[in-house]
Structure 1
């Protein structure tokens, strides 16, 4: 099989490519240049897609004896990931750029070009598994290593894309074994730190980065009853569940900490309240996709049992969900967790599971707090 190995410059993609070569595939390594002005050096485990990463990817391919190329996807990345990130925050939502990158870059733009060039599959170092389902179709499943499982950020993959994905690290029990294997193979990235944070904000200062791209203006901070309790420097820089940076200056009447409950960009208002007002008992999701075949209930609108995860490496809770039509006739999901969840924000991604199988994902549009809903109904 002719395989394109996506080489990030990290240890996972290097070992994944090595295993693809060892399995007898015809492998070509490709590093994606996602910025026209990449940083020269990483800062510890922050950032990725730097000149150092490109060099590490090249060295890994040299060691494996496979061809190496760099493809410039910087313009597509800027439009589909960076600009989307800014637009979502400007609209008061909390996006996940890694989901968007997988959806629009690694398993859309990259896969499309690979197939056009005659490749059969794209190989990555993601910790997830593609397995045959009972109906013969392919399904996306969690990896063997729960601590490193990345099936959440791959929940955007469709059945057609799964047919061209290769995840050689799926059954590896731990990251330590991957590093040990890299060292045995003589790969220079064996001890390289994993990248964290948002790759295009390597210093981790999301608020400062957004302030350079969104017109932030001061506005009111109000409590759940609409009473003004302070002032902010720009509503779009806040996200649901946030506590730090409110700078209200005086405690709540009950003396307890206050958290961001809602961001209203059109009114330039931030709503705050007690921790209990972050509890969510119903979620609506828009633009849902199924990772493989849709469940039969998707056609009937019936409730189906599942498990819900709304953050990468976040908690997983039992839930029920159903697929309905929105006002435009498109699909939407209603999700009810078995217990209240805290800090769910519009813009995040809700990924549904059944056992180890990823059913699919949707972008969270609304998250209802039972206490606030009861108050508004009174």
Structure 2
């Protein structure tokens, strides 16, 4: 097959490309340029998609003896990921930009261009497994290495996309083996640190980054009963579950810490309350997709995962043509609208939805 290897400049994508070559595929490497701003060399493990990463990807491709190109997707990334991130925060939601990047860039724009150019599949260094389903069709499953499993952020993929996707690392037991393999292959990225944080906010200061783009506007911080307990300089700077940085002027009656329970962008209000009020008994969303064949029943049992590294929770899901509603067996902690809920059946990813609404397990006091 003609395979396009998406090479981020890290060890995982380099080894994935090498394995595709070993499998006898006609492999071409490509690095995605996602920003037109002049980059700087990265120190440590913050961010990704820098000039340093592009150079590392090229060196890896040279070592493997495969053609290498850089594709400019900066405009698509700006429109589909960065602007979406700003809009979601401005609307009081907490987005996951990695999910949007996988959905809109890596497995939509890149895959579409690859197919147009005659490639059969896109290969990446993600830790996940694509396999044939027992009843036909393709399925997305968790990786062998639970610590590195990335099936959550791949939950946005559809069966049509899975048909043209390769994850050569999915059945590798540990990341240490991947690094050892890279060392043995003479790849200079063998010991390169993993990237962390949001790639377009490499210093990790999300609040400051948003303030520069959205501006500041003084608003009220209120408790669940509506009493004003503090003020803020912009509701977009807060997210559900946040404790630090609230600067409340009125202490809680019980003296315990308070957490952000809700962000109301229309009134520029932040609602705070006790930790137990973060317990969520139900989540629902209208923007959903299925990673393979859709569930045959409108109501079914599953596991729900609400963060990339959260534990899956047993749940019951109800699906209509317009909405997915999930009731977990045990209350979820600190769920914010805008987060992604991924549904599993064992190791299999069933699908995902963006959380629009939540229902607290703790009633608002009268």
Please state if 1:366 is matched with 2:362: no
Partner of 2:264: 264
Partner of 1:273: 273
Count of residue pairs the alignment pairs up = 366
Give the stretch that moved more between structures: 215-224 or 99-108: 215-224
Q: Is the 8 A contact 1:348 1:364 kept in 2?
A: yes
Please state if 1:223 is matched with 2:223: yes
Q: Is the 8 A contact 1:38 1:50 kept in 2?
A: no
Q: Deviations over 1:335-376 (max 9, x none)?
A: 000011111000000000000000000000011002226x5x
Distance in 1 (CA, whole Å) between partners of 2:289 and 2:85 is: 20
Partner of 2:341: 350
Give the stretch that moved more between structures: 288-297 or 243-252: 243-252
Q: Deviations over 1:48-100 (max 9, x none)?
A: 00000000000000000000000000000000000000000000000000000
Q: Is the 8 A contact 1:143 1:171 kept in 2?
A: yes
Partner of 2:312: 316
Q: Secondary structure at the match of 1:101?
A: helix
Distance in 2 (CA, whole Å) between partners of 1:68 and 1:35 is: 19
Superposed displacement of residue 42, structure 1? 1.1
Partner of 2:115: 115
**Deviating runs (4+, > 4 A) in structure 1?**
none
Give the stretch that moved more between structures: 210-219 or 273-282: 210-219
Q: Is the 8 A contact 1:77 1:101 kept in 2?
A: yes
Distance in 1 (CA, whole Å) between partners of 2:346 and 2:168 is: 21
Superposed displacement of residue 250, structure 1? 4.1
Distance in 1 (CA, whole Å) between partners of 2:46 and 2:154 is: 21
Distance in 2 (CA, whole Å) between partners of 1:213 and 1:361 is: 29
Partner of 2:81: 81
Distance in 1 (CA, whole Å) between partners of 2:310 and 2:74 is: 30
Distance in 2 (CA, whole Å) between partners of 1:318 and 1:43 is: 40
Q: Deviations over 1:268-289 (max 9, x none)?
A: 0000000000000000122110
Q: Secondary structure at the match of 1:29?
A: strand
Give 5+ residue unaligned stretches, structure 2: none
Give 5+ residue unaligned stretches, structure 1: 326-330
Q: Is the 8 A contact 1:140 1:292 kept in 2?
A: yes
Partner of 2:202: 202
C-alpha spacing 1:166/1:260, structure 2 compared with 1 (3 Å): same
Partner of 2:95: 95
Q: Secondary structure at the match of 1:135?
A: coil
Superposed displacement of residue 133, structure 1? 0.3
Superposed displacement of residue 38, structure 1? 4.5
**Mapping of residues 141-290 of structure 1, within 5 Å:** 141-290=141-290
Partner of 1:339: 330
Distance in 2 (CA, whole Å) between partners of 1:12 and 1:203 is: 23
Distance in 1 (CA, whole Å) between partners of 2:85 and 2:133 is: 34
Q: Deviations over 1:308-329 (max 9, x none)?
A: 000011121100101124xxxx
TM-score (norm 2): 0.99
Partner of 1:36: 36
Q: Deviations over 1:132-190 (max 9, x none)?
A: 00122000000000000000000000010000000000000111110000000000000
